Amino acid sequence: MSNLDPARLSELDEQLTKLAPVDRLRWAFETFGDRAGIGTSFQPAGVVILHLAKSAGLPIKAFTLDTGLLFPETLAFKAQLEAKLGIQVESVLPALTVEQQAAAHGAELWKRDPEKCCEIRKVDSLGKKLFELDLWIAGMRRDQSNERSSTPLLSLAARPDTSDVWKLNPLVDWSREQVWAYLKEHDLPHNVLHDRGYRSIGCWPCTQPTSGADERGGRWPGFEKKECGLHTRTKKA
């Protein structure tokens, strides 16, 4: 377990800002070891992070939140990417199956209360996983949306008991174009849904194709909602 002093956050963030993403990941592994974990939903940035870690010989474990509502294409891509990179990505499951959720909260909760649905199927699952980690590595980028434009490189997040867990976004200062250029340069695959106009891919009931500058504009159509809560509810005050 890392004994990093949270008071050093600004100093460490400044140091890491000067490093390339692969060296940020190297710092993560050297500092946190097996208490570091890459959380991914298999967006292009996540693919880059997984490839950087693998190519640099950094055995950082990876996990994904399998909500039970992922596109079949996403599940197929998970298997494809694991085979391509020679890795395994742990599937973290919600406490309730989709059927159990329907019995407890009514059918198609996402149509009535997407916040509650995200809490049950994603946020609670992440909270459980964070007790196993001291560093959570994520794929947020500042150019994804207005809401993410001030995302820090290194920060402190909160576990469900409000204890600290460090959080690193190694590609936070990359553009969408840089991410896709990296995939092309290294002959890396991507979710086929991107070829059908899906720019940000989540659960199938709450994701649609979109265009424009807001990469997350196709999430939760019909609601004033752009985040599932993974990055907002874990944020330290």
Please indicate whether residue 18 or residue 147 has the higher confidence score (pLDDT).
18
Quick one: what percent of the chain has pLDDT higher than 90? 78
Question: Packing angle between helix 176-185 and helix 44-55, nearest 10 degrees?
Answer: 50
Q: What percent of the chain has pLDDT over 70?
A: 89
User: Could you read off the pLDDT of 198-232 as tens digits, one per residue?
Assistant: 888 999 998 888 766 566 556 666 666 655 667 76
Q: If you average pLDDT over residues 42-49, what whole number do you get?
A: 96
SS (H, E, C) the chain: CCCCCHHHHHHHHHHHHCCCHHHHHHHHHHHHHHHEEEECCCCHHHHHHHHHHHHCCCCCEEEEECCCCECHHHHHHHHHHHHHHCCCEEEECCCCCHHHHHHHHCCCHHHHCHHHHHHHHHHHHHHHHHCCCCEEECCCCCCCCHHHCCCCCEEEEECCCCCEEEEECCCCCCCHHHHHHHHHHCCCCCCHHHHHCCCCCCEHHHECCCCCCCCCCCECCCCCCCCCCCCCCCECC
Q: Could you tell me the pLDDT band of residue 109, with boundaries at 50, 70 and 90?
A: very high
Kindly provide the b/e burial profile for residues 58-67, where b requires at least 16 CB atoms within 10 angstroms of the residue's own CB.
Answer: bebbbbbbbb
The pLDDT, as a whole number, for residue 230 is 76
Q: What is the pLDDT of residue 154?
A: 97
Give me the pLDDT at residue 224, please: 60
Is 228 in the active site? yes
Cα 20 to Cα 22: distance, rounded to the nearest angstrom: 6
The per-residue pLDDT for range 91-101, each reduced to its tens digit, is 999 999 999 99
User: Once rounded to an integer, what is the mean pLDDT over residues 124-134?
Assistant: 96
Q: Tokens 């994603």 identify what position?
A: 122
Mean pLDDT of 62-75: 97
Tell me the pLDDT tens digit for each residue of 46-64.
Answer: 999 999 999 999 999 999 9
Catalytic residue among 117, 118, 206, 228: 228
CB-based contact 176:48 (threshold 8 Å): no
pLDDT at 3: 74
Between CA 161 and CA 142 the distance in angstroms is 28
Span of 48-52, 134-138, 232-236 with lowest mean pLDDT: 232-236
Q: Are strands 36-39 and 135-137 parallel, antiparallel or unpaired?
A: parallel
The rounded mean pLDDT for the chain is 91
For residue 220, the model assigns a pLDDT of: 64
Over the stretch 171-181, which tens digit does the pLDDT of each residue have?
999 999 999 99
Q: Write down the pLDDT at residue 210.
A: 75
